[in-house]
Structure 1
């Protein structure tokens, strides 16, 4: 698994880097302004995304205004309207709830301001020009296959054995969350159907397992309630979590319920945050999905640069991301699973973290 995961990571880096535009300095007379809207600073990854894009755009000579809305939808609407009023030249938006941005996005289109959707698809609008993201269904597929392979579900099926599993899925107002869920179920549904995986709470649908605003606190409360109601006399074997923040809440709930190293379940996550990686090292989280935000930021930056120069950016998907008004031309980067076997090669040798950060 180690060698395969490392190869996948290297391939992902090559794929995301191919076709990247070389740095082009914009003269002071031609300097244009890019407005970036990020959802929150409560998650490490969004801080990194914003900082990476700002740095790369400024290196190309653009003026950059970066704002975070702290998961306040009204604030993000106001920020977007302010950018339109200022007459920025391009917008990059990672939405909290894209449904509330539709009217402001229409104002941007009317003003001739192109919009790049960043890692969260902007729904129900024809104002979006391009979308830069990771393969969100692929994230779910990687998580599902990790569970399948690590627990060897095919062998368990043959032996008539089973594992208990509970699901903690992403926010219902984030279109990525449903893509991720579908990817997981594409792998795991057959094992739920034949009893190799047993969900004692019965909560397996997206509607029953989604957690609004990706809340760690809600994930912890949900896990505490599930453990109390369903696992008093039997251990939970797998916590299928869509986000590192959920994994932190699940860990707290398990510790509160008396779980130890001897009966600790497999716990998945997404984003490979510093804390998650430390938990992977100490064994309280099993894996996470590594999404190199440096590469995703680079793709968004090349999209902005191309749009503002009247050029066509590189895309690799014109079918998957239908937002209800249009199929949005997209560039997808590849997600990679990290665990104890490969985090050093992927995260440290790859320059994403230093050894000191993970101590």
Structure 2
């Protein structure tokens, strides 16, 4: 691994997620009304995930969280689950349902971090503590866990620069950022710009509506038309789903499938892992799901029982509406073809059987995956 990338992957986490000084109250102070909670029996925990286009949520996040919650709170604990399918209004209705069912705590990965705030407030008013998972939701949340999001952007950008080498100044790159409704997208974007700015020419840059691959595909078609095929040397894609749409656009524009410009990604989705092995996608970012889902489960169970979060949280985060939210941040890691072998079969990653289907047997063999 390149020295600069190694420094990103292994360096000490320095995270500043203070999004605003105009906060409406302290999470520590808000916890006061929950301090009389002392439920020791079986719990009911609500879990709301944002979409199912990205395979990780159903494949890893949900089962890992359910397993950890039951380990912590007992097999009799119920986990009520719903997926918003990228619909912010539907997710607000799902919060209402969880309130009606009187869950003891609620874990929410927000579709729209701002619009969910009123729903979080309703849950809080009903004495239901809310854990913001993966995205920092607005409103009186009681805990937050995610990966080091600026670092994700830096890893992606440094990987792209390393791969481009002396080609970096011989053309232009396209930046395909995520949705403006997702606060993480801005952090990925800012992290990437901190590495790329001044080192490569950014020909076109997009904020991709709803993270959808089809929208990234259309954006990429526009970029190719505007910049010219020969002038594009690389593509910064903020996640794997969009990378798939981008790669389809590149191939249909006449790029040789064996000489595609390097395309980044994030989430280590199965399709992306296979594309990396086959050479059509350059890299992704592996976010260890076990520590992130475990932290969410630990926060939810502790809050449901009125217990301290001090042993779970490693830092505090400020949002636009809340100050001092107990936080646990997980370190992301780069995933290139050379890295895949070491993760195969581990919890939170895919098995060799899942990866090495008929179309990818040869690529798996070449990568040492059996």
Pair in the same fold by TM > 0.5: yes
Matches within 5 A, 1:77-96: 77-96=92-111
Alpha-carbon shift at residue 314 of structure 1 (Å): 2.0
Which residue, 326, 333, 336 being the options, matches 2:333? 336
Alpha carbons of structure 1 residues 323 and 9: separation in structure 2 relative to 1, 3 Å: same
My pick for the range that moved more, 55-64 or 165-174, is: 55-64
Equivalent position of 2:261 in the other structure = 265
Equivalent position of 1:137 in the other structure = 150
Equivalent position of 2:178 in the other structure = 170
2:217 corresponds to 1:220: yes
Q: What CA distance in whole angstroms lies between the structure 2 residues aligned with 1:342 and 1:4?
A: 16
Alpha-carbon shift at residue 110 of structure 1 (Å): 1.3
Q: What CA distance in whole angstroms lies between the structure 1 residues aligned with 2:297 and 2:207?
A: 31
Matches within 5 A, 1:107-256: 107-123=122-138, 125=139, 127-152=140-165, 161-191=169-199, 197-201=200-204, 203=205, 209-232=206-229, 234-256=230-252
Alpha-carbon shift at residue 97 of structure 1 (Å): 0.8
Deviations 1:43-84 (CA, angstroms, capped at 9, x unpaired):
111112122111221233221101111111121111101111
Q: What CA distance in whole angstroms lies between the structure 2 residues aligned with 1:280 and 1:131?
A: 31
Alpha-carbon shift at residue 10 of structure 1 (Å): 9.3
Deviations 1:190-212 (CA, angstroms, capped at 9, x unpaired):
22xxxxx22334x3xxxxx1112
Equivalent residues of 2:290, 2:348 under 8 A apart: no
Q: What CA distance in whole angstroms lies between the structure 2 residues aligned with 1:92 and 1:288?
A: 26
Alpha-carbon shift at residue 349 of structure 1 (Å): 5.9
2:285 corresponds to 1:285: no
Alpha-carbon shift at residue 101 of structure 1 (Å): 1.9
Equivalent residues of 2:4, 2:158 under 8 A apart: no
Structure 2 unaligned blocks of 5 or more: 13-38, 357-370
Alpha carbons of structure 1 residues 144 and 7: separation in structure 2 relative to 1, 3 Å: closer
* 3-state DSSP of counterpart to 1:200: strand
Equivalent position of 2:113 in the other structure = 98
Equivalent residues of 1:338, 1:346 under 8 A apart: no
Alpha carbons of structure 1 residues 4 and 226: separation in structure 2 relative to 1, 3 Å: closer
Equivalent residues of 1:93, 1:115 under 8 A apart: yes
Structure 1 unaligned blocks of 5 or more: 13-27, 192-196, 204-208
TM-score of the two chains, using structure 2 as the length reference: 0.81
Equivalent residues of 1:122, 1:323 under 8 A apart: no
Q: What CA distance in whole angstroms lies between the structure 2 residues aligned with 1:72 and 1:215?
A: 12
Runs of 4+ in 1 over 3 A off after TM superposition: 2-12, 347-351
Equivalent residues of 2:152, 2:191 under 8 A apart: yes
Equivalent position of 1:358 in the other structure = 355
Q: What CA distance in whole angstroms lies between the structure 1 residues aligned with 2:257 and 2:353?
A: 25
Equivalent position of 2:299 in the other structure = 303
- How many residues were matched structurally? 324
Alpha-carbon shift at residue 323 of structure 1 (Å): 3.1
Alpha carbons of structure 1 residues 189 and 10: separation in structure 2 relative to 1, 3 Å: closer
* 3-state DSSP of counterpart to 1:168: strand
Matches within 5 A, 1:19-38: 30-38=41-49
Q: What CA distance in whole angstroms lies between the structure 2 residues aligned with 1:227 and 1:8?
A: 31
